[in-house]
Amino acid sequence: RTLAMRTLLSPLLLVAAFLPMMGGVPVIQKPGGEGQGSETAKPIPTPLPVVIWHGMGDTCCLPISMGSIKKRIEEAVPGVYVNSLMIGDNVAQDQYNGYLMPIAKQLDLACKIVADDGALQGGFHAVGFSQGGLFLRALVQTCPAAKVFNLVSIGGPQQGIFGIPKCTNANNTLCETMRALLELGAYNPLVQDRLVQAQYWHDPVASVRYASDNVFLPGVNGDAGGRNETHAARIAALRTLVLVKFTGDTVVVPRDSEWFGFYGPDGKGIVGLEDQPMYKEDWIGLRALDEGGRLVRLESPGDHLAMPPGYFQDKIIPYLSQPLDLPLSSRESAKGVLTSSTSQWDCSWLQFG
């Protein structure tokens, strides 16, 4: 079995070393015909900085993906500082590490980036895309330097995955190799130590092995020991946690994981967050957030990360534009802010992440 694992792992390492971008590109159409208005100028609070964490297969700074998202936020929130996390010394390493650097090590690097960035010392908003949404939530729980106000997870597999996404791109060797590795032994140490996606593989019918052998997800979800006071306090200290689920998602399986839902112990049916021990016993602070009206669950039509025109501007930007001092009444109003926009952001090309 070990020989078989090494045989499967070799092409994974080879492909990852020369990993090209997967599929198409995200598209952002700038709003048209929107004037600045002529109302009397009012003092504008300095916006909080924003931290971005990309998904699998992407990089921090590619102009047609996260680079474009960074620019979109900067245009929508005048004067904002945006740090798009690079996990590694360059974009090639950043992309490679999204597959093959253990998540704990990625979190250590992200924590150091946040701690060393003087612009972030007063706190910041954060938005993660796909696996980046899961990683940012874990960063809040484990990194004292990550003082996050609004945390937005867009298509993030918060309860992990139990199902391999379809491999539809022409260059699908990596996806198919990953599928084989996960199916043959996601909890095998050889796979767990090397494959990022195995570290949030959540097998509902092997719960004991999941809790004992998965090196990442059980620890940040409370499945390996129940309530963690530090994690719960840090999540409960968020101003708002926003979870975006894609109603037609075929990449994150089950898609309900994006709202902390997951399969029952028999692997069938979906158990919602409120019916799980992690909520009832408030293992990581989600119940406290929810009871305070600070857990927001949004739906977006379409497949993974394929937001419809205007969705990012209308639904997400209001959370990224809130200033440091914002009265509760203003926070509630911000949830309903809809601004005219024809922007479109389609990241359906991200194969897994």
Q: Which residues are catalytically annotated?
A: 130, 249, 304
Number of H helices, E strands in the chain: 15, 8
Contacting residues for 190 by C-beta, under 8 A, at least 6 apart = 2, 5, 6, 9
Following DSSP, what letter does each residue of 146-202 receive, concatenated? --EEEEEEES--TT-BSSPPP--SS--HHHHHHHHHHHHHTTSHHHHTT-GGGGGB-
Rounded to an integer, what distance in angstroms lies between the CA atom of residue 96 and that of residue 103?
A: 13
Contacting residues for 119 by C-beta, under 8 A, at least 6 apart = 49, 81, 83
Q: What burial letters (b/e) apply to 316-325, b meaning 16+ CB within 10 Å?
A: bbbbbbbeee
Check residue 315 and report its DSSP letter: I
Rounded to an integer, what distance in angstroms lies between the CA atom of residue 149 and that of residue 232?
A: 15
Q: Return the closest-CA partner of residue 128 out of 139, 116, 142.
A: 139
The pair of three-digit structure tokens given for residue 225, joined into one six-digit string:
């020991």
First to last CA, the chain: 28
Helix residue ranges per DSSP H, 197-251 = 207-213, 217-221, 229-236
- 323 - beta bridge partners? 47
Neighbours of 8 (CB within 10 A): 18
Contacting residues for 51 by C-beta, under 8 A, at least 6 apart = 82, 83, 84, 85, 114, 120, 124, 125, 126, 127, 136, 148
Single-letter residue type at 187? Y
- 299 - beta bridge partners? 245
Position of tokens 């996960």?
182
